[in-house]
Chains A and B, each alone.
Chain A
Amino acid sequence: MKYQVNEKGYYGEFGGAWIPEMMYTNIEELKTRYLEIIEAEEFKSEFDKLMKDYVGRPSPLYYASRLSEHYGSKIFLKREDLNHTGSHKLNNTIGQILLAQKLGKTRIIAETGAGQHGVATATVCALKGIKCVVYMGALDVSRQAPNVKKMKMLGAEVVPVHSGNKTLKDATNEAMRDWINNPEDTHYIIGSVVGPHPYPDMVARFQSVISKEMRGQLLEQTGSELPTRVLACVGGGSNAAGAFYHFLDDEQVELIGVEAAGKGVDTDETAATLTVGSPGVLHSARTMLMQTEDGQIIEPYSISAGLDYPGIGPLHAHLHKTGRAKFLAATDEEVLQSVLLLTQKEGIIPALESAHALAALDKIKMNPDDVNVINLSGSGNKDMETYLNYFGY
């Protein structure tokens, strides 16, 4: 329980609900009701059934033999890329759409960067016949055209956001403004373990299915529920939270989060929040932030639109501070090499985000008998244009 949120919504010194009064009623309702709702037997069985029949869970835990040989250590891939819609994001949106229905909400809003969370939200809204509005930075709308078209085909309204740098942070601002303007009928499906309490805990619980499955699969395949280490990429931190969740109290399991270094942590073009950041308050949470001395938020940069967020979930800020998890950063260049390595060793094209976790394999010391689990959070389908341009196929 050392790493769980406390009743005030804090992980150590990080978290809380730093909300304007305009959001108070909605957040208070969520805070008082989310546990009772998601722990009810009826909710759990509905959630589990959709996880199995709709998302396609459990996702395989795959022993990557040629990659293992390459690194001289055992490497397993948790195949979240094989989920419906191609990433871990659907685990969360399924949970939240069921919750929104229990709260009697009739309109859903979401923010998205790469468009994966937007697609996952539009998907569950189509599934349940609920109105869906997705905010997306205008720059991302033009960078991620196929996902924009998918969301529209799914029946969602995609609203380009023209403020700030026109990326994920600005889309999040605009989604929060929408919620302030529509406090009665709307539920905001946040896409990661960020935002005010109870979102970080709620999203982590929905994603925790990842590590729950891992334990059973590891027992079956290796004879032990516990691996040597778990590696996951970290933007806001939802796939990492899900992959770490059921190992948090097993302190012998090494947990490694990998942030986006962009062009390097010593350049202005990075998204490695824990390396370059400091504590502050953004999007209603106290957490680590990329900011100026004056407290203005700095625009992050990464080749992967899903990792360029200037903050990080408060759980990870706490795991970092306490040393329970280690956080590394991988550059665009390193990540692209890892994409190609996995593609040609295993026949799996990973998402740019997920390849950050793969790139960390070059940065850590591994023994031959170590069991390393990489959370392969998403498929590379959405990144084909980047890959084709870069590799020149």
Chain B
Amino acid sequence: MNNRINQLFESKKENIFSVYFTAGFPNLDDTVKIIQELEKNGADLIEIGMPFSDPTADGPTVQRSSEIALKNGMNLRLLFEQLKDIRKSVNIPLILMGYLNPVYQYGVEAFCRKCAEIGIDGTILPDLPLDEFEAEYRKYFEASNLHNILLITPQTSEKRIKQIDEASEGFIYMVSSSSTTGAGKKVEDFHVDYFERVQNMNLKNPRLIGFGISDHATFSNACKYAQGAIIGSAFVNAIKDSVNLEKDIATFVKSIDPGGKALL
């Protein structure tokens, strides 16, 4: 079923600018403000991080933002409370990203229903693997028109990429290299052969490239091989000491210069 994620990819074919941040960081109540400012400055899609105590797929930046967010008192119930009126002010697709255990404790079915109620369009749950998703959880996601976004990496075989493409709705998250999340990659670190290999596979789903996309150079380079790219750690770093989110978010987006829209 179509949702805001599909609509985005139908209306925009390149330079899709997607941003990750950790809910509850730097301050507990920044969540809504960050989403609104990102949309205002031209973000096409936002991934809202649900902090977890043991983020094994994340590098130091997201580890630290998660730790602080939890210390600030963030939890899933509170996040849903903060987001309850988000669709009154925000139109771009929103995705919740995090680890399975907090969702599992909330109850996967109840979580999906709550997402639908608020207007969340998708999830990224790295430690919910494809076979477990298919066996136990797909039904709940489908009932709530929630797209569970799946990842591929440079090690993923062609056969498995096809299988993931078949099982995916919305887009495929291409992990840029074999790594945990983190800023500081250079264009030279990209596995261009992998980008090209996947680009030539004619997948049914569009792709966004993420992990290590940190500045204008890495963003625009990644956009050559996919419909867009996702910036996480670099954005989290940019707002970590912010006392003026409005200004700092605008400055950050300008530095990325993700194509026409942000320059308006």
Contacts and interface: CB of A to CB of B under 8 A. Distances in A.
Interface of A: 16-22, 24-25, 163-164, 169, 173, 176-177, 180-184, 280-284, 289, 291, 293-297
13 contacts: A16-B132, A20-B151, A21-B129, A21-B153, A25-B157, A163-B60, A177-B59, A180-B179, A281-B101, A281-B104, A281-B127, A295-B105, A296-B70
Interface in B53-104: 53-60, 63, 67, 70, 75-77, 99-104
B54 A181 contact: no
B126 A25 contact: no
**Nearest 5 A-B pairs (CB), nearest first?**
A295-B105, A295-B102, A20-B126, A21-B151, A294-B75
B105 A18 contact: no
A164 B126 contact: no
B52 interface: yes
B95 to A, nearest CB: 16
A214 B105 CA distance: 41
Contacts of A284: 127
B178 interface: yes
A182 B53 contact: no
Contacts of B102: 294-296
A283 B56 contact: yes
Given A177-B58, A177-B180, A296-B53, 4 more contacts: A21-B129, A22-B180, A281-B100, A295-B52
B133 to A, nearest CB: 10
B156 interface: yes
A284 B153 CA distance: 18
B178 A181 contact: yes
A293 B54 CA distance: 15
Contacts of B19: none
B150 interface: yes
B160 interface: yes
B76 A294 contact: yes
Interface size, B (range): 35 or more
Contacts of A291: 101, 105
Contacts of B244: none
Contacts of A16: 132
A173 B56 contact: yes
Contacts of A283: 54, 56
Nearest to A17: B129
Contacts of A180: 56-57, 178-180
A25 B129 contact: no
B126 A173 contact: no
A164 B63 CA distance: 9
B152 interface: yes
Interface string B128-162: 11101000000000000000001111011100100
Contacts of B99: 281
B175 interface: yes
Contacts of B75: 294, 296
A362 B9 CA distance: 67
A176 B178 contact: no
Give the interface centre of A19, A180, A183, A289 by most chain B CB atoms within 10 Å. A180
B100 A24 contact: no
Contacts of B153: 21-22, 24, 183
Contact of B155 (A24, A173, A177, A289): A24
B178 A295 contact: no
Given A291-B105, A297-B53, A21 B178 contact: no
A281 B54 CA distance: 11
Contact of A295 (B60, B106, B132, B157): B106
Contact of A19 (B58, B129, B156, B178): B129
B101 A280 contact: yes
Contacts of B160: 24
B105 A24 contact: no
Contacts of B127: 18-20, 281, 284
Contact of B100 (A18, A25, A294): A18
Interface string B41-61: 000000000001111111110
Of A173, A176, A177, A293, the most chain B CB neighbours within 10 A belong to: A177
A24 B157 CA distance: 10
Contact of B56 (A21, A176, A295): A176
A10 to B, nearest CB: 11
Contacts of B152: 21
A181 B101 contact: no
A281 B106 CA distance: 13
A184 B178 CA distance: 9
Given A177-B180, A295-B106, A24 B56 contact: no
A130 B58 CA distance: 27
Contacts of A296: 52-53, 70, 75, 101-102
Contacts of B106: 294-295
- Max chain A Cβ within 10 angstroms of own Cβ: one of B76, B103, B105, B164: B105
Contacts of A25: 155-157
Nearest to B164: A21
Contacts of A163: 60, 63, 67
Contacts of A297: 53-54, 101
Nearest to B178: A183
Contacts of A173: 54-56
